[in-house]
Amino acid sequence: MSESNSHRLPLKSVAIALLFAVFLGPVGLLYATSFGGIILIPIGFVVVCTKLWVPILFVWLISCIWSVVATNRYNKKLIH
């Protein structure tokens, strides 16, 4: 085992990231990307306060997609 491999960060699970985003919405996005969570949490709060189902669903779908994409990017950076 070389010195560079002993200090490697662990990969993130795409399945866990998706589950967090599905059940927690923008808050679950924090697992995949803190930047995305910080951006989408206030937006999600405002949208949920409107009590309109279509925008709420749209924000939840964006959270799910963003979490999968961010997790894949994170893992690719670690591998290469």
Q: pLDDT confidence of 46, banded at 50, 70, 90?
A: very high
According to the model, what pLDDT value does residue 80 have?
83
Structure tokens of 14? 């795409």
Residue 66: partners with Cβ closer than 8 Å, 6 or more residues away: 21, 29, 32, 33, 36, 40
The reported pLDDT for the residue numbered 1 is 47
pLDDT tens-digit profile of 58-80? Answer: 999 999 999 999 999 999 998 88
Q: Say if pTM beats, i.e. exceeds, 0.75.
A: yes
Q: How far apart are CA 74 and CA 9, in angstroms?
A: 10
Tens digit of each residue's pLDDT (9 = 90 or more) over 5-44 = 557 789 999 999 999 999 999 999 999 999 999 999 999 9
